Amino acid sequence: MLGTLQDGGSPHMGCEKLCCSEPKPQDFVSSLGVVGNEKSFIFDATPDVVSQTNFLKSQAAENTLEVFLTHAHMGHYTGLMHLGREASNAQATAVYVMPKMRLFLEQNGPWSQLVTLKNITLKPLVANQSVVLEKYLKVTPIKVPHRDEYSETVGFIIQGKNKKALYIPDIDKWSKWSVAIYELIKTVDYAFLDGTFYADGELPRPMSEVPHPFVKETVELLKSLPFEDREKVYFIHLNHTNPARNPDFQGRLENKKLGFHFAKFGQSFEL
Ligand SMILES: [Zn+2]
Ligand SMILES: [Zn+2]
Ligand SMILES: [Zn+2]
């Protein structure tokens, strides 16, 4: 687990409230790292990508790094900037992308320069089609509803030798999705899910402008699952304002009793 916060991170620009008054060094934007036998992968390239890939390297120093992107919102792809000539000057780092995301990167600077200078090699993804990365590692993108201004948005199913993880950092409401999350949870071993906001009223503006399933709604939706299924859920992508960032928050403690987790930086999961 390389990061658990929403795109804007914490401290959040302009926030003078308690939520951002005591920043922790490992409060990074949502990302997963996957360590394979020969390669390592990051799911989303966040503004915190340097610290995150350094941490990942400490787990598997010899591995080459490859990248999967969910969508073109700032917390999920702008870390690519560190692959460019001004920074690490990467040599053909594989970046797996959906078709609109690919066009967005190819047709807009400064990202297009990463392509023309061959810092990155874009690898096309097709929804619901698995990419085999290693003998025991495959990844399947699944489309999810989200504010798709520049690209489509996907989540990923990451399948190792024995276990499967579901990664959905950003989605509008569960009810807008053609897939029933309730059923999907039963088919995976870990589910890292959008927990941006805890409940309605958290922002001083209409929250319908930035729709996400509230943690409260997700818990309500999933609480009739057997305990062993509820335990698979780890909330990620928490907004700086989310009260559940505080380990002593009552709602968080209650959800924990029901089996639901809030992910922590550095947690590792066997696949
Ligand atoms: Zn996001
Ligand atoms: Zn804040
Ligand atoms: Zn987004």
pLDDT surpassing 90 at residue 259: yes
Ligand nearest to the CA of residue 75, numbered in listed order: 1
pLDDT surpassing 90 at residue 157: yes
Q: For position 66, what pLDDT does the model report?
A: 98
Residue 178 neighbours by CB under 8 Å, 6+ apart: none
Residues with CB under 5 A from ligand 1 (ion): 7, 73, 75, 170
**pTM here?**
0.98
> Can you list the domains of the chain with their CATH numbers?
18-262 (3.60.15.10)
Contact yes or no for 148/176 (Cβ under 8 A): no
Instruction: Determine the distance separating the centroid of ligand 3 and the alpha carbon of 72, expressed in angstroms.
Output: 7
Mean pLDDT of the 192-197 span: 98
Instruction: Determine the distance separating the centroid of ligand 2 and the alpha carbon of 242, expressed in angstroms.
Output: 9
Mean pLDDT of the 13-27 span: 94
Instruction: Determine the distance separating the centroid of ligand 1 and the alpha carbon of 169, expressed in angstroms.
Output: 6
Ligand nearest to the CA of residue 4, numbered in listed order: 1
Ligand nearest to the CA of residue 44, numbered in listed order: 1
Instruction: Determine the distance separating the centroid of ligand 3 and the alpha carbon of 228, expressed in angstroms.
Output: 29
Least Cα distance to 252 among 186, 176, 198 occurs for: 198
CA distance 104 to 123: 14
pLDDT band (50, 70, 90) for residue 61:
confident
SS3 111: helix
Mean pLDDT of the 39-57 span: 98
Instruction: Determine the distance separating the centroid of ligand 1 and the alpha carbon of 75, expressed in angstroms.
Output: 5
The predicted-structure confidence for 65-91, as pLDDT tens digits, reads as follows 999 999 999 999 999 999 999 999 999
pLDDT surpassing 90 at residue 155: yes
